[in-house]
Amino acid sequence: MATKKDTIKKTLSLDAVVYSQKGTKSGTIALPAKVFGVKWNGDLVHQVVTSMLANARAGTAHTKDRSEVSGGGKKPWKQKGTGRARHGSTRSPIWVGGGVTHGPRNDKNYSQKINKKTRVKALYTVLSKKYADGAVLFVDGVKLGTIKTKDAQEMLNVWSAIDGFKTITTKKATNALMVLAEPNATIEKSFANLPGVTITTASNLNALVAMKYRVLVMVGPEALMSTLEAKMK
Protein backbone atom coordinates (compact mmCIF):
# COMPACT_ATOMS: atom_id res chain seq x y z
CA MET A 1 0.00 0.00 0.00
CA ALA A 2 1.42 3.37 -1.05
CA THR A 3 2.14 5.74 1.79
CA LYS A 4 1.64 9.49 1.83
CA LYS A 5 5.38 10.00 1.39
CA ASP A 6 5.39 7.77 -1.70
CA THR A 7 2.53 9.80 -3.16
CA ILE A 8 4.42 13.05 -2.60
CA LYS A 9 7.59 11.65 -4.17
CA LYS A 10 5.63 10.44 -7.18
CA THR A 11 3.94 13.81 -7.62
CA LEU A 12 7.26 15.65 -7.42
CA SER A 13 9.11 13.46 -9.92
CA LEU A 14 11.50 15.65 -11.88
CA ASP A 15 11.14 13.65 -15.08
CA ALA A 16 8.67 15.89 -16.91
CA VAL A 17 6.78 15.00 -20.09
CA VAL A 18 7.50 17.24 -23.07
CA TYR A 19 4.78 17.83 -25.66
CA SER A 20 4.92 19.00 -29.26
CA GLN A 21 2.98 22.01 -30.48
CA LYS A 22 0.44 19.51 -31.83
CA GLY A 23 -0.23 18.20 -28.33
CA THR A 24 1.49 14.83 -28.69
CA LYS A 25 4.15 13.52 -26.31
CA SER A 26 7.58 14.06 -27.83
CA GLY A 27 9.75 12.88 -24.93
CA THR A 28 10.79 13.71 -21.40
CA ILE A 29 13.23 16.05 -19.72
CA ALA A 30 15.07 15.69 -16.43
CA LEU A 31 14.42 18.93 -14.60
CA PRO A 32 17.18 20.37 -12.38
CA ALA A 33 16.32 19.86 -8.72
CA LYS A 34 17.60 23.29 -7.73
CA VAL A 35 15.06 24.91 -10.07
CA PHE A 36 11.98 22.66 -9.89
CA GLY A 37 12.60 20.66 -6.73
CA VAL A 38 12.82 23.42 -4.15
CA LYS A 39 10.80 23.20 -0.94
CA TRP A 40 8.11 25.85 -0.55
CA ASN A 41 9.17 28.88 1.47
CA GLY A 42 6.29 31.33 1.76
CA ASP A 43 8.25 33.83 3.86
CA LEU A 44 11.00 34.08 1.25
CA VAL A 45 8.56 34.53 -1.63
CA HIS A 46 6.56 37.14 0.31
CA GLN A 47 9.70 39.09 1.13
CA VAL A 48 10.90 39.18 -2.48
CA VAL A 49 7.51 39.88 -4.06
CA THR A 50 6.73 42.66 -1.58
CA SER A 51 10.10 44.25 -2.29
CA MET A 52 9.57 44.01 -6.05
CA LEU A 53 6.17 45.66 -5.75
CA ALA A 54 7.71 48.42 -3.65
CA ASN A 55 10.42 48.95 -6.27
CA ALA A 56 7.74 49.30 -8.94
CA ARG A 57 5.95 52.13 -7.11
CA ALA A 58 5.94 55.33 -9.13
CA GLY A 59 5.91 57.55 -6.05
CA THR A 60 3.98 60.31 -7.83
CA ALA A 61 1.45 60.99 -5.06
CA HIS A 62 2.26 64.37 -3.53
CA THR A 63 0.68 66.76 -1.06
CA LYS A 64 1.82 70.27 -0.17
CA ASP A 65 2.94 71.08 3.33
CA ARG A 66 2.40 74.49 4.98
CA SER A 67 5.48 75.95 3.34
CA GLU A 68 4.16 75.22 -0.17
CA VAL A 69 0.50 76.30 -0.09
CA SER A 70 -0.44 79.79 -1.18
CA GLY A 71 -1.57 82.60 1.11
CA GLY A 72 -1.03 82.91 4.83
CA GLY A 73 1.53 85.68 4.72
CA LYS A 74 -0.46 87.81 7.09
CA LYS A 75 -1.71 86.93 10.57
CA PRO A 76 -5.51 86.28 10.18
CA TRP A 77 -6.37 88.52 13.14
CA LYS A 78 -4.66 90.02 16.10
CA GLN A 79 -3.47 87.80 18.89
CA LYS A 80 -5.83 89.06 21.61
CA GLY A 81 -9.12 90.82 22.04
CA THR A 82 -11.21 89.15 19.32
CA GLY A 83 -12.56 86.28 21.42
CA ARG A 84 -11.34 83.83 18.83
CA ALA A 85 -8.54 81.30 19.05
CA ARG A 86 -5.07 82.53 18.26
CA HIS A 87 -3.76 81.84 14.73
CA GLY A 88 -0.59 82.86 13.01
CA SER A 89 -1.26 81.74 9.44
CA THR A 90 -3.99 80.31 7.23
CA ARG A 91 -1.37 77.86 5.96
CA SER A 92 -1.78 75.88 9.17
CA PRO A 93 -2.95 72.26 8.62
CA ILE A 94 -6.07 72.90 10.71
CA TRP A 95 -7.30 75.49 8.19
CA VAL A 96 -9.24 74.60 5.04
CA GLY A 97 -6.78 75.15 2.22
CA GLY A 98 -3.83 74.88 4.55
CA GLY A 99 -0.88 72.52 4.29
CA VAL A 100 -1.20 68.75 4.74
CA THR A 101 0.51 67.07 7.66
CA HIS A 102 2.28 63.73 7.05
CA GLY A 103 0.81 63.40 3.55
CA PRO A 104 2.47 61.45 0.68
CA ARG A 105 5.51 63.11 -0.84
CA ASN A 106 6.98 62.48 -4.27
CA ASP A 107 10.50 62.65 -2.89
CA LYS A 108 10.00 59.52 -0.80
CA ASN A 109 12.07 56.52 -1.88
CA TYR A 110 10.10 53.24 -1.67
CA SER A 111 12.81 51.04 -3.17
CA GLN A 112 14.07 48.02 -1.25
CA LYS A 113 17.24 46.08 -1.88
CA ILE A 114 16.88 42.46 -2.97
CA ASN A 115 19.94 40.25 -2.94
CA LYS A 116 20.49 38.39 -6.22
CA LYS A 117 20.53 34.92 -4.66
CA THR A 118 17.40 35.70 -2.65
CA ARG A 119 15.57 36.92 -5.74
CA VAL A 120 16.55 33.86 -7.79
CA LYS A 121 15.77 31.45 -4.95
CA ALA A 122 12.27 32.96 -4.75
CA LEU A 123 11.82 32.34 -8.50
CA TYR A 124 12.95 28.72 -8.13
CA THR A 125 10.55 28.30 -5.19
CA VAL A 126 7.60 29.57 -7.23
CA LEU A 127 8.53 27.41 -10.24
CA SER A 128 8.80 24.36 -7.99
CA LYS A 129 5.36 25.05 -6.50
CA LYS A 130 3.85 25.56 -9.95
CA TYR A 131 5.38 22.30 -11.17
CA ALA A 132 4.21 20.40 -8.09
CA ASP A 133 0.69 21.72 -8.70
CA GLY A 134 0.76 20.50 -12.31
CA ALA A 135 0.61 24.03 -13.70
CA VAL A 136 3.71 23.86 -15.94
CA LEU A 137 3.42 22.65 -19.54
CA PHE A 138 6.65 21.81 -21.37
CA VAL A 139 6.57 22.21 -25.17
CA ASP A 140 9.56 21.21 -27.30
CA GLY A 141 9.08 24.14 -29.66
CA VAL A 142 6.65 26.51 -31.35
CA LYS A 143 7.00 27.11 -35.06
CA LEU A 144 4.81 29.61 -36.90
CA GLY A 145 5.48 30.40 -40.54
CA THR A 146 3.68 33.72 -40.47
CA ILE A 147 2.13 36.03 -37.90
CA LYS A 148 -1.37 34.63 -37.56
CA THR A 149 -3.63 34.75 -34.51
CA LYS A 150 -5.77 31.90 -35.84
CA ASP A 151 -2.79 29.52 -35.78
CA ALA A 152 -1.95 30.60 -32.24
CA GLN A 153 -5.52 29.96 -31.10
CA GLU A 154 -5.55 26.53 -32.73
CA MET A 155 -2.37 25.70 -30.85
CA LEU A 156 -4.03 26.60 -27.55
CA ASN A 157 -7.05 24.49 -28.46
CA VAL A 158 -4.76 21.50 -29.04
CA TRP A 159 -2.96 22.02 -25.73
CA SER A 160 -6.28 22.24 -23.89
CA ALA A 161 -6.76 18.53 -24.64
CA ILE A 162 -3.70 17.69 -22.53
CA ASP A 163 -4.63 16.39 -19.09
CA GLY A 164 -4.60 19.22 -16.54
CA PHE A 165 -4.57 22.07 -19.06
CA LYS A 166 -8.20 22.21 -20.08
CA THR A 167 -8.55 25.88 -19.14
CA ILE A 168 -5.50 27.08 -21.07
CA THR A 169 -7.83 28.74 -23.59
CA THR A 170 -9.47 30.90 -20.92
CA LYS A 171 -9.43 34.59 -21.79
CA LYS A 172 -8.56 35.81 -18.31
CA ALA A 173 -5.52 38.11 -18.46
CA THR A 174 -3.61 36.13 -15.82
CA ASN A 175 -4.37 32.72 -17.32
CA ALA A 176 -1.21 31.61 -19.14
CA LEU A 177 2.38 32.80 -19.38
CA MET A 178 4.42 31.48 -22.30
CA VAL A 179 8.15 31.50 -21.55
CA LEU A 180 10.55 31.55 -24.51
CA ALA A 181 14.29 30.96 -24.48
CA GLU A 182 14.80 34.12 -26.52
CA PRO A 183 12.60 36.81 -28.12
CA ASN A 184 10.60 35.73 -31.16
CA ALA A 185 8.60 38.43 -32.93
CA THR A 186 6.46 35.98 -34.92
CA ILE A 187 5.30 34.13 -31.79
CA GLU A 188 4.80 37.31 -29.78
CA LYS A 189 2.69 39.01 -32.46
CA SER A 190 0.69 35.85 -33.19
CA PHE A 191 -0.39 35.57 -29.55
CA ALA A 192 -0.70 39.33 -28.99
CA ASN A 193 -4.45 39.43 -29.68
CA LEU A 194 -5.22 36.52 -27.36
CA PRO A 195 -6.09 38.08 -23.96
CA GLY A 196 -5.40 34.90 -22.00
CA VAL A 197 -1.75 34.53 -23.04
CA THR A 198 1.27 36.67 -22.15
CA ILE A 199 4.71 36.15 -23.70
CA THR A 200 8.02 36.62 -21.89
CA THR A 201 11.55 35.27 -22.01
CA ALA A 202 13.46 33.21 -19.46
CA SER A 203 15.86 36.08 -18.79
CA ASN A 204 12.93 38.32 -17.78
CA LEU A 205 11.21 35.70 -15.63
CA ASN A 206 11.02 36.46 -11.91
CA ALA A 207 9.00 35.34 -8.90
CA LEU A 208 6.42 38.12 -9.22
CA VAL A 209 5.71 37.37 -12.87
CA ALA A 210 5.74 33.59 -12.43
CA MET A 211 3.26 33.52 -9.55
CA LYS A 212 0.88 35.95 -11.28
CA TYR A 213 -0.23 33.42 -13.90
CA ARG A 214 -2.18 30.21 -13.43
CA VAL A 215 -0.32 28.20 -16.09
CA LEU A 216 3.27 28.40 -17.31
CA VAL A 217 4.08 27.17 -20.82
CA MET A 218 7.80 26.46 -21.14
CA VAL A 219 8.81 26.49 -24.83
CA GLY A 220 12.11 24.78 -25.63
CA PRO A 221 12.72 23.44 -22.12
CA GLU A 222 16.36 22.40 -22.61
CA ALA A 223 17.43 25.93 -23.56
CA LEU A 224 15.23 27.35 -20.82
CA MET A 225 16.84 25.17 -18.16
CA SER A 226 20.28 26.50 -19.08
CA THR A 227 19.08 30.10 -18.78
CA LEU A 228 17.24 29.49 -15.52
CA GLU A 229 20.19 27.69 -13.91
CA ALA A 230 22.53 30.47 -15.02
CA LYS A 231 20.52 33.02 -13.05
CA MET A 232 22.11 31.81 -9.82
CA LYS A 233 25.68 32.09 -11.14
Using pLDDT thresholds of 50, 70 and 90, give the confidence band for residue 72.
confident
User: Quick one: average pLDDT of 100-122?
Assistant: 94
| pLDDT score of 197 more than 50 | yes
- Provide the domain limits for residue 14: 4-57+111-230
Question: In sequence order, what DSSP letters do the residues of 126-159 get, joined into one string?
Answer: HHHHHHHTT-EEEES----SS--HHHHHHHHHHH
Asked if the model's pLDDT at residue 139 lies above 60, the reply is yes
Q: Are residues 219 and 147 in the same domain?
A: yes
Whether residue 141 sits in one domain with residue 95: no
Question: What's the total number of domains in the chain?
Answer: 2
Do 225 and 150 share a structural domain?
yes
- Note the pLDDT tens digit of each residue in 202-213: 999 999 999 999
Whether 4 shows a pLDDT value over 80: the answer reads no
Q: Is the pLDDT of residue 50 over 90?
A: yes
Q: What is the pLDDT of residue 207?
A: 97
79, 109, 139 — which closes off a domain?
Answer: 109
Instruction: Decide if 178 contacts 219 (C-beta within 8 A).
Output: yes
In the predicted model, what is the mean pLDDT of the chain? 92
- 73 and 36, same structural domain? no
Are the C-beta atoms of 176 and 167 separated by less than 8 Å?
no
Task: Please give the Cα distance from 227 to 203 (Å, whole number).
Answer: 7
Judge if 146 and 204 occupy the same domain. yes
Residue 22 has pLDDT above 50, yes or no: yes
